[in-house]
Amino acid sequence: MSNYSLNIIMKSSKKFSRNKQEKINLIYDTFFKLILKQGYHKTSTNHVAKSAKISIGTIYKYFPKGKIDIIRRYFEKSMETFLDSQQLSNMNDENVRDLLNHFVLDLFENHKKNKGYNLALRSAIQSDKILHDVHKEKIFHFFKELVQKLRKSNENFKQISEKKLVDVFIFMYNLVNAILYHHLSIMELFDTDDKFIDYLSDLVAFSLQYYFKT
């Protein structure tokens, strides 16, 4: 086989796979953009198809159960890229506060960037018990794995039991998410982002102390 034809095959296969991922991203973007504009339940799959200029069949090819699949798979994807355990491993008594800030900032950016998705997730959780459970399960899993990694590489973490650490991470995660969601989608708590992040970091620090006291 000549180099040339090989090239074509590789190119086309590459191009195809990129097309596939691009289409999936296009669906994500369009779906969450529309939700932001008109709310979750007014955003239909047909709507998404028209707005993204792809066919409804394509959406169902990649997401056979429709909207719920889009949300589920985006959730999985977003958990994969969340938090860099490398940084956390370097935690010591001096930089705890920096790491909390980092944690808060990470969630804050995520919420701002994915406002539509966060709306969708909450809406979908209400009407889909399975998603609700999967969601909890995944979060639990994620933090369990994270904690296990951290306890391997950092002495500070070893002094706290695995269970307790997982609990505290999940607690912080929920706390910050709760407030971020309310701030972005229901009613603003602060008028500038900086003030808000500052407050959240302090709040998390306070809650951490509270949590370990009890």
- Contact set with DNA (CB under 7 A): 14-20, 23, 41-47, 54-58, 60-62, 64-68
**203 sits near a copy of itself (criterion: CB under 8 A):** yes
**Which window, 4-12, 22-30, 83-91, 121-129, contacts a copy of itself (CB under 8 A)?**
121-129
Size of the site for a copy of itself (CB under 8 A): 38
Neighbours of 85 (CB within 10 A): 14
- Amino acid (1-letter code) at residue 58: T
The single residue listed with the structure tokens 């056979």 is 64
Cα 123 to Cα 135: distance, rounded to the nearest angstrom? 13
With respect to DNA, which residue has the nearer C-beta, 2 or 86? 2
Rank residues 55 and 174 by Cβ distance to DNA and give the closer one. 55
The answer to whether 183 contacts a copy of itself (rule: CB under 8 A) is yes
Of 37-45, 89-97, 142-150, 154-162, the segment contacting a copy of itself by CB under 8 A is: 37-45
Q: Does 78 bind a copy of itself (CB under 8 A)?
A: no
- 41, 44, 118, 146, 199 from 80: Cα distances, Å: 27, 27, 16, 11, 27
> Would you call 192 exposed, middle or buried from its count of C-beta atoms within 10 A (0-12, 13-18, 19+)?
exposed
What is d(CA 157, CA 91) in angstroms, rounded to the nearest whole number?
A: 9
Residue 196: count other Cβ atoms within 10 Å of its Cβ: 19
Region binding a copy of itself by CB under 8 A among candidate stretches 1-9, 17-25, 124-132, 153-161 = 124-132
Cα–Cα dist 159/183, whole Å: 35
Q: How far is the CB of 206 from a copy of itself (least distance, A)?
A: 5
8 A C-beta contact, residue 206 and residue 166: no
Tell me which of DNA, a copy of itself, none is bound by residue 25, counting a contact when its beta carbon lies within the kind-specific cut-off of 5 to 8 angstroms.
none
Closer by beta carbon to a copy of itself, 14 or else 37:
37
CA 205/CA 28 separation, integer angstroms = 34
Q: Which stretch binds a copy of itself (CB under 8 A): 79-87, 144-152, 157-165, 176-184?
A: 176-184
Under the rule (CB under 8 A), what is the footprint of a copy of itself?
A: 35, 38-42, 119, 122-123, 125-128, 135-136, 139, 170-171, 174-175, 177-179, 181-183, 185-187, 189, 195, 199, 202-203, 206-207, 210, 214
